[in-house]
Amino acid sequence: MTQNQPPTIDDVAKVAGVSTATISRAINDPDKVAKATRDRINAAIDELGYTPHFGARAMASSRFKTVGAVIPTMANAMFASGMQAFQEALSEAGVTMLVATTGYDPEAELRQIRALMTQGASGLMLIGTERPEATRRFLNLRNVPHVLTWAAGPADEGVFAGFDNRRAAKSMAEHVLAMGHRKIAMIAGISAGNDRVAERIAGVRAAIEACDGAELVALAESPYLLQNAGDAFDEVWAAKPTAIIGGSDVLGAGAVVRARARGVSVPGDVSVTGFDDIGLSLVSAPALTTLRVPQIEMGRAAAEILLAQLAGGTPKSAIFETEIVERASLAPPRS
Amino acid sequence: MTQNQPPTIDDVAKVAGVSTATISRAINDPDKVAKATRDRINAAIDELGYTPHFGARAMASSRFKTVGAVIPTMANAMFASGMQAFQEALSEAGVTMLVATTGYDPEAELRQIRALMTQGASGLMLIGTERPEATRRFLNLRNVPHVLTWAAGPADEGVFAGFDNRRAAKSMAEHVLAMGHRKIAMIAGISAGNDRVAERIAGVRAAIEACDGAELVALAESPYLLQNAGDAFDEVWAAKPTAIIGGSDVLGAGAVVRARARGVSVPGDVSVTGFDDIGLSLVSAPALTTLRVPQIEMGRAAAEILLAQLAGGTPKSAIFETEIVERASLAPPRS
DNA sequence: TTGAAAGCGCTAACAT
DNA sequence: ATGTTAGCGCTTTCAA
């Protein structure tokens, strides 16, 4: 079972008895070749199992595009359906997606960006706004079309397909305050090098500061894992909050699980909220009051923006609204 | 802000004052160029923001590899951490991953495979064993190195990095039977064109048939979505089972949510089990008794196997064991 | 240690 | 409607 050389356009040309140019036309612009010839060519392609060589194509023409996405990790449902939508939209446009992950390491992002560009990515989808100076410089130097997602910002920071994390978190905190809670705790993600987390924290702080008598009694930062969220629950619970705002559904759900294990009733003893509205929030018991992030719309918009940029346009940011999804984990505090 | 042409190796050569061959060496085989020259070259590379062009590289040499993965969807946690591990392992070896999704459409797989190969994929990661004849023929004709995952099979069906779905499902069903259940229902995924689902169903059937007095009172097939799983719960619940075997955690968790909504207590009125051991099973209340699928190990093994194949080796399949994770959603039936 | 030059597979003028 | 041919950006002999 030796791996034979992939067939080239020359092989197809030989079998079909035409020139390579005709093969190329039959593939890229079928109308320009006679039906009979086309049929012969297609037969030859099938017989040989020919697939054009992307490298050669990319080199000979600039029509063939690839885009890259650099995300923290695929193992977080927070990005899953957005990425799926992104890739579907690209696929419809005949553009392939390359994915690379950083594991939430900001230094890793530039390496991955370079790797993707080497691979032929002519556009990039990046998460968030905050990045090391070296990364900004590179992006700027090479002037790579790129779209920023899962966040929002002023136009001079780039083109976004996302939402305002601070405003969203603020609205959630206001909602919690409106229920009568005054002693609030927050379990956030790790804020270092993660602007989305930092913004969510800032939003919660802003709402609390604006509310008389309200206080952020505890703030824990935790990786986006159920287990860690449980530990964070233990930590903030010591401060006796009446409500815990989770920086993500994983964090909220993890807190609920640990609360249950500790015999702390939700929302009886403490209310808990989530963020993102992934499946986890529905399965949690009680179901998590959370904030819906329009992942699918965002992913699709990111693809459209990138495609428009690649086509030479200068599309505007698409900023989405988030909405609070009321479920059972948030209730007024015990009086 | 016009998008300037990417710098080429010629630009770097000019700036560094050496030939392109030396640049190439400095990048691919740094030891072969004098330290002083190398430093000058690196400075030039940084100054220009140069990244080699993959297409040109791939064409000029066969050293540069890319591999492709074709999965049903990224929006299912069932694949998420396995894919993440797969990509990390590849990344360590300096190869990039291309991802394409089929949306569970078997016909789409061949299209995606061709697209990935056109993109330069010299190896593939595929899910499961069942595929249309045309796909098999193409794979065979082109003799593409590929590894099959999330499943297991005889050596003549290919090289696997996976597990035996039938055996795993059988063990789960036996476990349920051992608890004393006799009227069993199953909520499976959609079996058409999905060998993993078909195998899981077969495993459950086999266990039940081998057990005196046991009966599969209902079998519903449902998409892997919480909402649909709820509807499937309603459907099978009508047959009055004492235990419902979920074909995945999403299915099990969805059933639990709907049961709760219907006032049916789990595991009091009915036991429910999951499959996959994703976060959902832990958050579910009661937590789902489920079957751990070694996603991370599988993803990593798939990468290693593929890399070995690309290096010309003929690695063996890596078949993993699964294990039942006992939690709270399974209990003996009410007597 | 470095340079010159051929060639990888394809597309896009330009011819016919 | 089809063929000829020049290059796209790189790596790799082969020479110096």
Percent of chain B whose predicted confidence (pLDDT) is above 90: 83
b vs e for B111-127, b when ≥16 Cβ sit within 10 Å of the residue's Cβ? ebbbbbbbbbbbbbbbb
Sheet holding B121-127, edge to edge: A318-320, A159-163, A146-149, A121-127, A66-71, A96-101, B96-101, B66-71, B121-127, B146-149, B159-163, B318-320
- Residue B2: the pLDDT is 43
b vs e for B31-69, b when ≥16 Cβ sit within 10 Å of the residue's Cβ? eebeeebbebbeebbeebbbbbbbbbbbbeeeebbbbbb
Nearest-by-Cβ selection for B55 from A6, A58, A98: A58
**What is the phi/psi pair of residue A277, to 5°?**
60, 55
Please state, in angstroms and rounded to a whole number, the distance separating the CA atoms of residues B232 and B223: 10
**What is the phi/psi pair of residue A166, to 5°?**
-65, -45
Counted residue by residue, chain B has a size of 335
A143 versus B167: the higher-pLDDT residue is B167
Pick the residue from chain B with its C-alpha nearest to A73: B84
Reported confidence tier of residue B79, pLDDT bands at 50, 70, 90: very high
Calculate the average pLDDT of chain A: 94
- A115 CA to C4 C1' distance (Å): 30
Judged against a pLDDT cut of 70, whether residue B3 lies above it is answered with no
Q: Decide: B156 and B129 in contact? Cβ < 8 Å.
A: no
Percent of chain A whose predicted confidence (pLDDT) is above 70: 99
Looking at the complex, report in whole angstroms how far the Cα of residue A4 sits from the nearest Cα belonging to chain B: 7
Counted residue by residue, chain A has a size of 335
Is the alpha carbon torsion for A229, A231, A232, A237 positive or negative?
positive
Task: Answer whether B325 touches A (CB < 8 Å).
Answer: no
Which residue is associated with the tokens 């602007």? Answer: A195
Q: Decide: B302 and B161 in contact? Cβ < 8 Å.
A: yes
Query: Considering only CB atoms, which chain B residues are within 8 Å of A144?
Result: 3
Question: What does DSSP assign to residue A94?
Answer: T
Per DSSP, chain A holds a count of helices (H) and strands (E) of 13, 12
A16-41 per-position pLDDT tens digit: 999 999 999 999 888 889 999 999 99
Q: Decide: A286 and A322 in contact? Cβ < 8 Å.
A: no
CA angle B250, B254, B255 (to 5 degrees): 120
Query: Considering only CB atoms, which chain B residues are within 8 Å of A88?
Result: 101, 103
B298 versus A100: the higher-pLDDT residue is B298
Judged against a pLDDT cut of 60, whether residue B73 lies above it is answered with yes
Whether A96 sits inside 8 A of B101 (CB atoms) is: no
Question: Stretch A44-71: mean pLDDT, rounded?
Answer: 88
Please state, in angstroms and rounded to a whole number, the distance separating the CA atoms of residues A246 and A236: 11
- Residue B253: the pLDDT is 98
Say if A66-163+295-322 and A165-293 have the same CATH topology.
yes
Contacts 24+ apart (CB under 8 A), B148-151: B149/B82, B149/B125, B149/B298, B149/B299, B149/B302, B150/B79, B150/B82, B150/B196, B150/B293, B150/B298, B151/B127, B151/B195, B151/B196, B151/B199
Reported confidence tier of residue B4, pLDDT bands at 50, 70, 90: low
Find the nucleotide nearest B11 (Cα to C1′).
D9
| Partner residues linked to A324 by β-bridges | A291
Domain spans, chain A: 9-60, 66-163+295-322, 165-293
- A134 CA to D4 C1' distance (Å): 47
Task: Answer whether B74 touches A (CB < 8 Å).
Answer: yes
Judged against a pLDDT cut of 80, whether residue B122 lies above it is answered with yes
Nucleotides on strand C lying under 7 Å from protein C-beta: 1-13
- B93 CA to D11 C1' distance (Å): 20
Q: Decide: A125 and A302 in contact? Cβ < 8 Å.
A: yes
Nucleotides on strand D lying under 7 Å from protein C-beta: 1-13
B83-111 per-position pLDDT tens digit: 999 999 998 888 888 888 999 999 999 99
Q: What is the CATH number of domain A165-293?
A: 3.40.50.2300
Task: Answer whether B93 touches A (CB < 8 Å).
Answer: no
Please state, in angstroms and rounded to a whole number, the distance separating the CA atoms of residues A237 and A231: 10
Task: Answer whether A59 touches B (CB < 8 Å).
Answer: yes
Q: Decide: B249 and B203 in contact? Cβ < 8 Å.
A: no
Question: What does DSSP assign to residue A276?
Answer: B
Please state, in angstroms and rounded to a whole number, the distance separating the CA atoms of residues A146 and A161: 11
Burial class of residue A8, CB neighbours in 10 A (0-12, 13-18, 19+):
middle
Whether B55 sits inside 8 A of A120 (CB atoms) is: yes
Q: Give me the residues of A, 203-242, that contact B with CB < 8 A.
A: 226
Task: Answer whether A118 touches B (CB < 8 Å).
Answer: yes
- Residue A2: the pLDDT is 43
Whether B49 sits inside 8 A of A141 (CB atoms) is: yes
Judged against a pLDDT cut of 90, whether residue A258 lies above it is answered with yes
Looking at the complex, report in whole angstroms how far the Cα of residue A191 sits from the nearest Cα belonging to chain B: 22
Query: Considering only CB atoms, which chain A residues are within 8 Å of B117?
Result: 6, 51
Q: Is the CB of A18 under 7 A from strand D?
A: yes
Q: Is the CB of B303 under 7 A from strand D?
A: no
Cβ-Cβ contacts under 8 Å for A284 (sequence gap 6 or more) = A249, A252, A253, A256, A257, A274, A329, B283, B285
Looking at the complex, report in whole angstroms how far the Cα of residue A277 sits from the nearest Cα belonging to chain B: 13
- Residue A1: the pLDDT is 38
Reported confidence tier of residue B66, pLDDT bands at 50, 70, 90: confident
Q: Decide: B194 and B187 in contact? Cβ < 8 Å.
A: no
- Residue A118: the pLDDT is 83
Calculate the average pLDDT of chain B: 94
- Residue A4: the pLDDT is 64
Query: Considering only CB atoms, which chain B residues are within 8 Å of A117?
Result: 6, 51
Percent of chain A whose predicted confidence (pLDDT) is above 90: 82
Whether A84 sits inside 8 A of B73 (CB atoms) is: yes
Query: Considering only CB atoms, which chain B residues are within 8 Å of A4?
Result: 143
Q: What is the dihedral of CA B27, B31, B37, B39, to 10 degrees?
A: 70
A183-237 per-position pLDDT tens digit: 999 999 999 999 999 999 999 999 999 999 999 999 999 999 999 999 999 999 9
Query: What CATH number matches the domain at A66-163+295-322, 2.60.260.40, 3.40.50.2300, 3.90.1150.10, 3.90.180.10?
Result: 3.40.50.2300
B198: amino acid identity, one letter: A
Query: What is the CATH architecture assignment of A9-60?
Result: Orthogonal Bundle (1.10)
Residue A27, SS3? helix
Percent of chain B whose predicted confidence (pLDDT) is above 70: 99
Q: Decide: B100 and A96 in contact? Cβ < 8 Å.
A: yes
Residue of A61, A62, A283 best to disrupt the B interface, most CBs of B under 10 A: A283
Pick the residue from chain B with its C-alpha nearest to A120: B54
What helix, strand, coil percent values describe chain A, rounded to 5? Answer: 45, 20, 35
Task: Answer whether B145 touches A (CB < 8 Å).
Answer: yes
Whether A138 sits inside 8 A of B49 (CB atoms) is: yes
Q: What is the dihedral of CA A326, A330, A331, A332, to 10 degrees?
A: -120
Q: Decide: A286 and A327 in contact? Cβ < 8 Å.
A: yes
**Closest alpha carbon to C1' of D11, residue:** B60
Residue A184, SS3? strand
Whether A120 sits inside 8 A of B54 (CB atoms) is: yes
